[in-house]
Structure 1
């Protein structure tokens, strides 16, 4: 009996020694089952690689190796072009948390085009005057370079609630002739992934998936288009294509019309009690969620708006209650635009410096009788003309017109 027990213990000891020897051997020979997954140079869709911009919008995505992108693994050295870029630029950030997509037959991603396209990611919102002024350039670049390898993705991140509506956005896309893909970013998830804070803002992503340029606001059109051409030339070389890249630069007649004294125009003004920036001229101020009666002061300061009559103060707008609702604005500039809307067709009457608007002063949405018909929610051009300091008087002919913000040019 004791001999049998000794044999059993001996057998167990031998088995443990064999297992230990196999384990040590596997460590020395690099058994892949013991090493875990191999990283592939941040090529997962949605990966960024610099500072606070680092995001992983799709951490479960499979790493991809496409033309123009070289993975960092043990099978060979990394392309020097990639090494140089890694020291200078962050990697692209994937679209995340989007809603409806337009002008595309599938749920578009940035990652699927890395190694294939040069990509512009354009953050915009359709009632923003600055965004609207950039659209002629962006749409012309799409027409000019889409067959040479340029992809533009418009990320529509709404400033106001009415801009979240897909039907409103579809109408704006058609109005402005936008034919490139557009995605809704109603919850600001892609906006936050890019650490963005501005409308409009353009990010340019090269053939290798690096963000090599971004621009805030209007302007720099020549610089931006020249870089598009350079990046398309690089793409052509990487992919071995022979197509000629256009060298002309897009320009519009309005370029020469920019105000030289742009810093002297009035600042953008918001009307909602939750969006005010200090331009509410009446001493009483807004009455949150309530209708209040206002009177005009004896004197009005420039860069402020003033109310007369009854107005309903909403969180992001002021709402007219009828013919007693009047707003006066003392501003500096040559153009005045207003973001407004109504659930049914409604009318505002305009005067400037106490007089009816002349034909030269009428904005793009003003009728011959000096009225503006407000129906869809959006941006309306009220005044244009010579630069100066003026007083604009707006009188409501109907209740229920919601006024959100003034912008100037």
Structure 2
């Protein structure tokens, strides 16, 4: 009898201990859940958004931090201290550009529209001017270009490509968009996909507003502007500098490039599409060709709607012929008047602007002082 009582008592004690253990377990679990919620709240996110919505936020640590602006030679529309202050808690769009690049120029209407639409919502656009040619390092040239195109947002002159290298960038134009914590959340190289880029801006601005507890909502419509349409068989960009032609040499004369020498060129009888040909004496420079003789000519069979040249001169007149005849007003570019373009500033010149894309043969009759860097098309 005593043994049975003893056994019963021991069994009761085991049951009590088990129940107590289960209670302690659930109490501990409940505290763990509460502590987890408090850790989320210490970030500040929980001040404006219910906890259940945090799954919608990406883990920013998965995205790289944008490098600092470095090696900046000069500033336009801002000063260093002001820019540093402006960047705090902002969604930043870094636009890598250079002022003689037609692809960059065609993005300006969108950048300006986004600046007008979202600057007061927390977007900061920073133009990072990383030059392609030596003359683009001149701050006065960049300032004139910024004024010409109406760029009012901050611009930094990355003349030695220090910031370009920090971003590991390789393209003009290139857009890097960061959230308000400085993480790179979107990149785009070249023209196009403007709707997609703007949607990213809107999403990051909304996330910023929630994180900072601001009662701001970005307009969800997108900027609707006419964008450039490319021809499928459009002629590629053509470079005249021997340093730029490596891997993309479209120089048609048999003599080819002769670095730092002046060569007498003659145009052959057979011309290949998308290749340029020279006549006259031309000095071979690392980023350009400069006419040395009294007269010179450039011939180019091409396919495109628009033809641009990056060139320089001292009020040097060049004659533009299309398919062997002086170019008419139907095909003349913005910088061509009565079949002639005056080359003065170091910049991009639009010499042909046809109604539609097509295949033609372009001829430029040049005079001493004319220097050409590249053909670009559209």
> Which TM-score band applies after superposition, normalised by the shorter structure?
0.7 to 0.9
User: Which of residues 48, 68, 77 is equivalent to 1:103?
Assistant: 77
Q: Distance in 2 between matches of 1:67 and 1:320?
A: 65
Contact between 1:94 and 1:109, CA under 8 Å: does it hold in 2? no
Contact between 1:155 and 1:183, CA under 8 Å: does it hold in 2? yes
1:41 corresponding residue in structure 2: none
State the secondary structure of the residue aligned to 1:407: strand
State the secondary structure of the residue aligned to 1:264: coil
Q: Distance in 1 between matches of 2:196 and 2:294?
A: 49
2:353 corresponding residue in structure 1: 384
State the 1:243 CA deviation.
3.0
Contact between 2:260 and 2:285, CA under 8 Å: does it hold in 1? yes
State the 1:82 CA deviation.
8.2
Q: Distance in 1 between matches of 2:244 and 2:330?
A: 32
Q: Distance in 2 between matches of 1:325 and 1:107?
A: 50
1:326 corresponding residue in structure 2: 297
User: Which of residues 155, 180, 184 is equivalent to 1:207?
Assistant: 180
2:59 corresponding residue in structure 1: 84
Number of aligned pairs? 326
Q: 1:82 to 1:189 in 2, by over 3 A?
A: farther
Contact between 1:82 and 1:208, CA under 8 Å: does it hold in 2? no
1:242 corresponding residue in structure 2: 215
Within the alignment, does 1:147 sit opposite 2:117 as a pair? no
Contact between 2:295 and 2:368, CA under 8 Å: does it hold in 1? no
1:296 corresponding residue in structure 2: 267
Q: Distance in 2 between matches of 1:287 and 1:83?
A: 54
State the 1:176 CA deviation.
0.7
Contact between 1:95 and 1:109, CA under 8 Å: does it hold in 2? no
State the 1:234 CA deviation.
1.1
State the secondary structure of the residue aligned to 1:86: helix
| Per-residue deviation, residues 6-55 of structure 1 (Å, max 9, x unmatched) | xxxxxxxxxxxxxxxxxxxxxxxxxxxxxxxxxxxxxxxxxxxxxxxxxx
State the 1:110 CA deviation.
5.9
Q: Distance in 1 between matches of 2:125 and 2:65?
A: 17
**Larger RCO (alpha carbons 8 Å, 6+ apart):** 2
* Normalised TM-score (structure 2): 0.82
Within the alignment, does 1:113 sit opposite 2:87 as a pair? yes
Q: Distance in 1 between matches of 2:66 and 2:86?
A: 12
State the 1:328 CA deviation.
0.4
Q: 1:372 to 1:67 in 2, by over 3 A?
A: farther
Q: Distance in 1 between matches of 2:373 and 2:84?
A: 34
2:140 corresponding residue in structure 1: 167
User: Which of residues 220, 227, 232 is equivalent to 1:263?
Assistant: 232
1:315 corresponding residue in structure 2: 286
Contact between 1:101 and 1:107, CA under 8 Å: does it hold in 2? no
Instruction: Extract unaligned runs of 5+ from structure 1.
Output: 1-65, 69-78
Q: Which aligned pairs between 1:19-34 and structure 2 lie closer than 5 A?
A: none
Q: Which aligned pairs between 1:174-193 and structure 2 lie closer than 5 A?
A: 174-193=147-166
State the 1:80 CA deviation.
8.1
Within the alignment, does 1:336 sit opposite 2:307 as a pair? yes
Q: Distance in 2 between matches of 1:83 and 1:149?
A: 19
State the 1:92 CA deviation.
1.6
State the secondary structure of the residue aligned to 2:115: helix
User: Which of residues 370, 373, 379 is equivalent to 2:342?
Assistant: 373
State the secondary structure of the residue aligned to 1:163: helix
Contact between 2:83 and 2:154, CA under 8 Å: does it hold in 1? no
Q: Distance in 2 between matches of 1:282 and 1:179?
A: 44
Contact between 2:282 and 2:290, CA under 8 Å: does it hold in 1? yes
2:258 corresponding residue in structure 1: 287
State the 1:83 CA deviation.
7.8
Within the alignment, does 1:399 sit opposite 2:365 as a pair? no
Contact between 1:125 and 1:131, CA under 8 Å: does it hold in 2? yes
RMSD: 2.1
Q: 1:148 to 1:359 in 2, by over 3 A?
A: same
Instruction: Extract unaligned runs of 5+ from structure 2.
Output: 1-42, 46-53
State the 1:81 CA deviation.
8.4
2:28 corresponding residue in structure 1: none
Q: Distance in 1 between matches of 2:173 and 2:346?
A: 19
